[in-house]
Amino acid sequence: MQIIENSKVKEKVYIEKLENGLTVMVIPKKGVQKKYMIWGTHYGSNESSFIVPGEKEVTNVPNGVAHFLEHKMFEQENGTNSLDVLTALGVEANAYTTNDHTAYLFECTDNFYEAMDELMDYVQHPYFTDENVEKEKGIIGQEIMMYDDYPEWKVYLNAMKAMYHNNPVKIDIVGTIETISKIDKEILYKCYQTFYNPSNMTMVLCGDFKPEEILEEVKKRLINTKPSGEIKRIYPNEPEEIVKEKIEQKLEVSQAMYVIGIKDTINCEQKSELVKKHLAIEMLLNLIIGRSSNLYKKLYNEELIYSQPSLEYEFTNIYAHCLITGQSNNPEEVYKSFKEEVCKLKQEGINKEDFERIKKMIYGGYIKEYNDVQDIAKMFLADHFKGINSFDYLEEIEQINVEYLEQILKDVFKEEKMVLSIVKS
């Protein structure tokens, strides 16, 4: 068992790769009442073209299969729904699908092993019939229609469409009414057998556990499966340039919503370099338009914004972009001011004091994530699928200086890579 320790947060992660290929990560939190378990597969909405291990032909499936599969996993052959079973145990259970992974989880203070029995049982025993697949199409169809009227989702998705020509990140995770109509039980079983092999999965447990003991409990509940070979994932080529600078849609909203997107290129060979770049971009976004920035104060005083926009850098192995999301009665003016501030920062350079202050704030945010079992487990799972150990963020932040930040500002914050998505009444 590999043990990685971080002295800054006084935490250890115990990592074991089992014979069947499953990676198990245990982060013990002595004396903490809550326990959290998450079991994820490195399979999300990006994967619609792939070569199954042992096959030569490319398999193409409709958009929305990963999310459809996540929905169907709870239904059991005996007529029960595992989500209901878990809820009856008094645990908070859920599942979610992202662009690059799907995860099944629960959090509890009591009945942990009973909940573990149920979760590990349903994730390993899919049950699809023609009837239950058809029924699910109606349920997911309603979800798709609901998202169509959801301004927060549309403004995000439109930003993706403005940035990306072919990359699957521009496709809705749930698919469309048309694409899900083509899903059948054969497609679901094929995707399950390909992507839900233990060698493509990771389990993270966080709570008051003894690593060796909880590992034995996991092994006891695993069915006998052999690891599969590598899944060849096929993605379309994506040009570096954006599709168009501005995209606008009308929906019922009390105030216009906007997303400013900056398309980035994936060229970090080293995982440590990717972590360092992520941290630098977080710092830059906060320096430019974070709550303590001059631009935020100016926009707030001019009543162009009323709260700090959300700032994030999203990336997987096939895409990367910055997102500034908020509400304004004049998104175009916010966008113009943002571009001017970026230009000014490039010309004048970054103030050392501002840099130190933001660096401390970002570092504090990462430290804080280690207070909650849910935050820890979800973070370790998502980072693991990116090939990153979450502790790397606490180490790499020390390597960042003003010169590095100014280089990233120049490389990433390019005006020709910026887009504006607006949803207004």
The 10s digit of each residue's pLDDT in 282-338 is: 999 999 999 999 999 999 999 999 999 999 999 999 999 999 999 999 999 999 999
Q: Are 211 and 30 in contact (CB under 8 A)?
A: no
246-259 b/e (C-beta count within 10 Å ≥ 16 → b):
ebeeeeeeeebbbb
For strands 418-424 and 257-263, give the pairing.
antiparallel
Using a pLDDT cut of 90, give the percent of the chain over it. 94
Enter the DSSP assignment of 169.
Answer: G
Share of the chain above pLDDT 70, in %: 100
Q: 402-412 and 331-348 helices cross at what angle (nearest 10)?
A: 130
pLDDT score for 267 = 73
Q: Is the pLDDT of residue 182 over 70?
A: yes
Residue 372 has pLDDT above 90, yes or no: yes
Distances (CA, A) of 171 to 246, 318, 322: 18, 14, 18
pLDDT of residue 149: 83
What are the catalytic residues?
70
**Rounded average pLDDT over 361-368:** 94
**Residues whose CB falls within 8 Å of the CB of residue 367, separated by 6 or more in sequence, listed in order:** 8, 9, 394
Q: What is the pLDDT of residue 210?
A: 96
Q: What is the mean pLDDT of the chain?
A: 95
CATH assignment of 246-424, among 1.10.1040.10, 3.30.830.10, 3.40.50.620, 3.90.1300.10? 3.30.830.10
- Residues 338-364 pLDDT 10s: 999 999 999 999 999 999 999 999 999
pTM beyond 0.85: yes
What is residue 306's three-state secondary structure? coil
Could you read off the pLDDT of 82-121 as tens digits, one per residue? Answer: 999 999 999 999 999 999 999 999 999 999 999 999 999 9
CA distances from 246 to 100, 163, 168, 251, 342 (A): 27, 10, 20, 17, 18
Phi first, then psi, for residue 193 (nearest 5°) are -65, -30
Measured distance CA(377)–CA(385) in Å, rounded: 13
**Average pLDDT for 393-407:** 95
Report yes or no: 223 and 19 within 8 Å, Cβ to Cβ.
no
Q: Is the pLDDT of residue 269 over 70?
A: no
Q: Is the pLDDT of residue 268 over 90?
A: no
For CATH 3.30.830.10, list the domain ranges present in the chain.
2-233, 246-424
Asked: is 2-233 a CATH 3.30.830.10 domain? The reply is yes
Q: In what order do the strands lie in the sheet with 11-17?
A: 2-6, 11-17, 23-28, 201-207, 35-41, 102-108, 92-97
Between 354 and 148, the higher pLDDT residue: 354
Helical ranges in 207-263 per DSSP H: 211-220
**3-class SS letters over 122-133:** HHHCCCCCHHHH
Three-class SS of residue 353?
helix
Measure the CA–CA gap between 132 and 128, rounded to whole angstroms: 6
pLDDT for residue 147 is more than 90: no
Q: What DSSP state is assigned to residue 317? A: S
Distance CA 13, CA 28 (A): 7
Read off the pLDDT of each residue in 253-267 and give the average, rounded to a whole number.
Answer: 93
Contact assessment for residue 55 and residue 233, using Cβ atoms and an 8 Å cutoff? no
DSSP string, 65-117: HHHHHHHHTTB-TTS-BHHHHHHHTT-EEEEEE-SS-EEEEEEESS-HHHHHH
Euclidean distance between CA atoms 248 and 357, whole angstroms? 36
pLDDT band at 145 (very low <50, low <70, confident <90, very high): confident
